[in-house]
Structure 1
Amino acid sequence: MNLSEPRDRALHIHDLYDELNRHERERAWSREGFMLGFMGDVGDPAKLVMAKEGAGPGPGGRAALEHELADCLWSVLIPAHCCQVDLEGAFQRAMAELEAAIRARLAGGGEPE
C-alpha cells in the first residue's frame, strides 16, 4: 500500500490553503482547525447517502459523493502528516486487528478482548 502520491498532492493543496488563509485572514489553519474541518467533511457524504436512501433532503449524485469522499481523504491525510502519523502502517495494523477479531467471532470465539 502506498499513500505517497495522494499524500503529496494533499500537502500541495494544504500549502496553497495556507497561502490563501494568510492572504485573506493573516493566519493559517491550526491542527485543531483541520480536525474541525474533518468533522464537517465526514458529515457531507453521510448527508448525500441519506438523501439517496430517502432519509433526508438534498441534491446528490455520484459526482457529489465522489467529491465529498475525496475531501474526507484529504482531511485524513493532512492531520496524519501534521501529527507525524504513519498512516500506511497504522492502517495495516488496524486492518490486521479487525481481521483477527472478525475471524475469531466467525470461528465462534465471541468478542475478542
Structure 2
Amino acid sequence: MEFDELQDLARGVRQKYAAREHENYGRTWSREEIMLGFLGDVGDLAKLVQGKEGVRPREDLDEAFAHELADCLWSVMTLADSYGVDLEEAFVSTMTELNGVLDET
C-alpha cells in the first residue's frame, strides 16, 4: 500500500471516530485531545516495550505491540493531517537531512 493510501485509511478512521464522538459528546475531539490520546498510546507502547524486554510479559505481547505501534502511527498521521503537514514529504526531507549530517560526521 502506498503512503497516500495509508493516509486515506487513517482519515477514514478519524472520520468514523469523529462521528462517534459527535454522537456521544455532541462534538468531536480537538487536536489537543487527539494529542492527549496519542500520549496515552505512547504510554501503552512503553509498557509493551518493557514486555518485549522481559519486564512485563503477557501472552499476546507481539500482537499488542504491533497494534500499539499502529495506533501511534495513526495518531501521528492524524495530527499531521489536521495541521496540513505533508508527512511523507516531511519524513523524506528529514531523513535526507539526517543522512547528510551523519555522513558528514
TM-score scaled by structure 1?
A: 0.84
Identity of aligned residues (%): 45
Greater C-alpha Rg: 1
> Which consecutive segments of 4 or more residues in structure 1 shift more than 3 A?
none
- Spell out the pairing of 1:50-61 with structure 2 (5 A cutoff): 50-55=50-55, 57=56, 59=58, 60-61=60-61
Deviation at 1:58, TM superposition (A): 5.1
Query: In structure 1, how many angstroms separate the alpha carbons of the residues matched to 2:27 and 2:57?
Result: 33
Structure 2 segments unaligned to the other structure (5+ residues): none
Q: More helix by proportion, 1 or 2?
A: 2
Query: In structure 2, how many angstroms separate the alpha carbons of the residues matched to 1:95 and 1:27?
Result: 37
Structure 1 segments unaligned to the other structure (5+ residues): 106-113
Q: Residue deviations 1:60-81, cap 9 Å, x none?
A: 5211111001101100111111
Partner SS state of residue 79, structure 1: helix
- Spell out the pairing of 1:6-85 with structure 2 (5 A cutoff): 6-55=6-55, 57=56, 59=58, 60-85=60-85
TM-score scaled by structure 2?
A: 0.89
Q: Residue 16 of structure 2 aligns to which amino acid in structure 1?
A: L
Q: Residue 102 of structure 1 aligns to which amino acid in structure 2?
A: L
Partner SS state of residue 80, structure 1: helix
Aligned partners of 2:51 and 2:61 also within 8 Å: no
Aligned to 1:110: none
- Spell out the pairing of 1:72-111 with structure 2 (5 A cutoff): 72-105=72-105
Query: In structure 1, how many angstroms separate the alpha carbons of the residues matched to 2:95 and 2:40?
Result: 25
